[in-house]
Amino acid sequence: MEASIIISVYKNVENLKLILESLRIQTKKVSEVIVSEDGEDVGMRTFVENYNWFCPYQHLTQSDEGWRKNRALNRAIVAAKNEWLIFIDGDCVLHPRFVEMHLRYAAPNRILLGKRVKLSPTISQKMLEGNFSYPFKWWRLFNSGCRYADEGIFVSICLNKQLRSTRHLTGCNMSFSREAIISINGFDEEYVKPAVGEDADIDWRFRAKGYEFVSVRNRAIVYHLYHKENWSEQEENCAIMCRNQQNNQVFCLKGIDQHF
């Protein structure tokens, strides 16, 4: 099975460079990267056009009119060349076996969900400066002020199907089939603020459709680069999701069907 890696970005070229270098050294060869940009930054375009690419890629942009990540994601899904889709964010560096682990557990009826290590400001800065060895030894994460360092302990083989379960999707580390996301009409573009709309919302809609959720914690590992949280208040998004749940609106009204 082949996968398309969809990276959600907004302006930060230095972070994207680190992400791509982590994709370059994957144990499972990457067959397509989609840089899904919620904007039209000149610096981002210049970087992508001049980068020494190691696989086929697409760079999708849209006018910068506020937070429209879900629209960008829907457009990326339509453009993807592969059936299996792996989603990461533009501030997440990948363990070398990240893609391998997502593909190992991929199946048409499955939604794969992982977590992330939140790197400390010091380690993040050293990585950006090229002065920190990679991949990480797990004990370094515990000794360096990282949050959720236990998520960085890599385990490739376990007798149980799921080494550690997780309760909900995290948008920076999840994968599923193109058919699955289209079955719920993609990401809901009614959400115009970050958080909830790009993961919690599709979580409940996938569950309502009966998909099997399989955890890839401690297998598909993501290292989240430090930055100040910039989320807005979530009450508006939660109200939208609550209304849709009450109406059992699994197939969203403002979704991917607008882009075919």
Residue with tokens 């760079």: 59
Q: Does the pLDDT at position 67 exceed 70? A: yes
The predicted structure's pLDDT at residue 161: 59
Which residues have C-beta within 8 Å of that of residue 230, sequence separation ≥ 6?
194
> Which phi and psi angles does 154 have, rounded to 5°?
-85, 130
| Structural domain boundaries enclosing 152 | 3-259
Output the pTM of the full model.
0.95
Q: Does the pLDDT at position 204 exceed 70? A: yes
Q: Does the pLDDT at position 160 exceed 60? A: no
- Total domain count, the chain: 1
**Cβ 180 vs Cβ 213: under 8 Å:** no
Segment 19-35, tens digit of pLDDT: 999 999 999 999 999 99
Average pLDDT, whole number, for the chain? 92
List the CATH number of the domain containing 234: 3.90.550.10
142 versus 236: the higher-pLDDT residue is: 236
**Cβ 128 vs Cβ 198: under 8 Å:** no
User: Could you give the percent of the chain with pLDDT greater than 70?
Assistant: 95
Q: What's the longest Cα–Cα distance across the chain?
A: 52
Nearest to 98 by CA among 5, 169, 16, 213: 5
Res. 36 pLDDT band, cuts 50 70 90:
very high
Mean pLDDT, range 146-151, rounded to an integer: 88
Segment 37-58, tens digit of pLDDT: 999 999 999 999 999 999 999 9
User: Which range is least confidently modeled, 49-53, 136-140, 229-233?
Assistant: 229-233
What tokens appear for 191 in the block? 């959400």
Mean pLDDT, range 234-243, rounded to an integer: 93
* Cα distance between residue 253 and residue 107, in whole Å: 27
Return the exposure string of 62-95: e unless at least 16 CB atoms fall within 10 Å of the residue's CB, then b: eeeeebbbbbbbbbbbbebebebbbbbbbbbbbb
The DSSP bridge partners found for residue 37 are 9
* Cα distance between residue 241 and residue 196, in whole Å: 8
